[in-house]
Every structure is written in C-alpha cells, then in structure tokens.
Amino acid sequence: DELIFNVIQCKMVSAKLFLTATILITSSLSGNAGLLDYIYPTIMSTFYSLVPTKEGYRFKQEDPNGSSREEIGVIMNPGTPDEELVIMGMYTVYDEKTEIETMTMYTADKNGYQPRFKLKNRKLSSKLLMTSTG
C-alpha cells in the first residue's frame, strides 16, 4: 500500500511540475511577440467605414498590408437638371514584393475617372537598414 501511495504521489508531483512548466512557457511566449508571430500567423483584418452625409457620403478602407482607400462623394446641384455625383478620393497600394507604395489622388464625375496625382515611394527594407547601421 505504501508503494502505491508513493507512486501516486510521485505522479502528482510530476503533473504539478508539468503544469507549472507549461504555464511558465506560455507566459514567457506571451511576452515575446516576435516568437508568437513566428508560431502563430498574424490575424488579418480590414477597417471599413461608410458614413452617409446630407450631401453624399464619406468612405474609408484600410487593409493590413498598408493599402488604403478614402473618398468623399458629393451631389452637386441637387434637385436640378444638372444634378451629378462628384467623387474625390485617394488610394494607396503597397506591393510587398517590391516594397513600393503608390498613392493616387483622383476625381470622378460625369466626365469619368481622372487621376490627378500619383506618387511612388520605395520603402527601405529592414535588411538594408540593418546593414547601414553596422
């Protein structure tokens, strides 16, 4: 009987040690976001907002990779034969392969879509930044 009691007690101690070690490892992983990002894939989410206004609407969308779109739509000359929807906005596209961000500002009206301004910006990679610091 004493032998069985010692075996059970030994197994309980082993289970408590295992549980304690698991809790410690989990809590240390929680503090290290870089390791967690490696183990668990990043959760992808998108922010989207559409706000109707008296004159039209406002719209905004942001993607996790840095791409975004924002525009304002306004009804010009409401209630007249010249009534038309005019849209002004901008969108940003980020290409992860080339690390180039392109921003385009545009208008759209009865004459169609017209890009007004386009800017390309190459972001510095983390590898390049690391080599330049020494």
- What pLDDT, on the 0 to 100 scale, is given for residue 32? 47
Question: In this structure, what token pair is assigned to residue 34?
Answer: 């870089």
Q: What percent of the chain has pLDDT over 70?
A: 55
Per the prediction, the chain carries an average pLDDT of 71
* Cα 64 to Cα 29: distance, rounded to the nearest angstrom: 23
Q: Averaging pLDDT over each range in 14-18, 55-59, 123-127, which range is the top one?
A: 55-59
79: left (phi over 0), alpha (psi -120 to 50) or beta: left
The H-assigned helical ranges of the chain are 2-31, 33-39, 126-133
Q: 29 with 78, same domain? A: no
Q: State yes or no: pLDDT of 15 exceeds 70.
A: no
Residue written as token pair 């990002």? 37
β-sheet bridge partners, residue 60:
49, 70
Whether the predicted model's global pTM rises above the 0.85 cut:
no
* CB 102, CB 117: distance < 8 Å: no
Q: State in Å, rounded, how far the first CA of the chain is from the last one.
A: 68
Q: 35 with 55, same domain? A: no
Q: Count of CB atoms within 10 A of residue 99's CB?
A: 14
Q: 104 with 63, same domain? A: yes
Specify the 3-state DSSP secondary structure of 34: helix
Q: Which amino acid is at 48?
A: Y
Q: 85 with 113, same domain? A: yes
Q: 20 with 62, same domain? A: no
Q: State yes or no: pLDDT of 24 exceeds 60.
A: no
Q: State yes or no: pLDDT of 31 exceeds 50.
A: no
Q: What is the pLDDT of residues 74-126, one digit of tens each?
A: 888 888 999 998 999 999 888 878 888 888 989 999 999 998 878 787 766 66
Q: 30 with 58, same domain? A: no
> Containing domain of residue 24, as a range?
2-39
* Cα 74 to Cα 82: distance, rounded to the nearest angstrom: 13
Q: Which of 17-31, 45-59, 81-95 has the lowest mean pLDDT?
A: 17-31
Q: State yes or no: pLDDT of 131 exceeds 70.
A: no
Q: How many domains does the chain have?
A: 2
- What pLDDT, on the 0 to 100 scale, is given for residue 49? 73
- What pLDDT, on the 0 to 100 scale, is given for residue 124? 62
